Structure 1
């Protein structure tokens, strides 16, 4: 089941205080970006955030799962209605992730 665009917009509204939030449709699901970094995925209307040390400190007992087959485990975020907590999680996750590699010019 593909994710609904309404759910994607809701997640983006919940985390918009963390930085410049955007999304991109990929393979029928969505990648979520913060300041140009992929911080998570939305698959089957579930929000998966990349695992980081800081993120695990904020959600120490968070369930982990792979958003798709053969993917690394991500944090499965169920507390999507807590805007303050979500914003903090995304900000610390983004800060810990490396900058994306520059694309080669054709």
Structure 2
């Protein structure tokens, strides 16, 4: 489920110290972007932020909840997005700190993708 208009506006206001934050619908959820990089996702008006090996310790508190996931062929696939603790909704400075750490992780992921060799194209069947 995508973010409600009121929750999306609330996040834009809370995260304004980071610079312009935009959101767009993707995969039935809402992607949260800054500097053209997706650092978070919202589903059911709950914010999830990008996690990697560098910021995992910062987000240790978020491990209490399962990561954002989706179903594929009957299996649950966990994504590298962890749920932001509800208490941060009332702690805007700390919420921005988490968002900045998530944005840094998103930049690291993007950098790895540009450095990786291109994947071979799949052959298509004709017929």
TM-score (norm 1): 0.76
| Counterpart for residue 86 of structure 1 | 95
Q: 1:6 to 1:67 in 2, by over 3 A?
A: farther
TM-score (norm 2): 0.66
Q: 1:59 to 1:71 in 2, by over 3 A?
A: closer
Q: What is the root-mean-square deviation of aligned Cα atoms in Å?
A: 2.4
Residues in 1 aligned to 2:101 and 2:5: alpha-carbon distance in whole angstroms: 25
Q: Which has the higher contact order (CA 8 A, sep 6+)?
A: 1
Q: 1:55 to 1:17 in 2, by over 3 A?
A: farther
Question: In the TM superposition, what are the counterparts of 1:1-106 in structure 2 within 5 Å?
Answer: 1-62=1-62, 63-69=65-71, 70-77=77-84, 78=86, 79-98=88-107, 99=110
Gap runs ≥5 in structure 1: none
SS at match of 1:80: helix
Gap runs ≥5 in structure 2: 72-76, 115-127
Count of residue pairs the alignment pairs up: 102
Residues in 2 aligned to 1:2 and 1:36: alpha-carbon distance in whole angstroms: 19
Q: 1:85 to 1:21 in 2, by over 3 A?
A: same
Residues in 1 aligned to 2:92 and 2:54: alpha-carbon distance in whole angstroms: 17
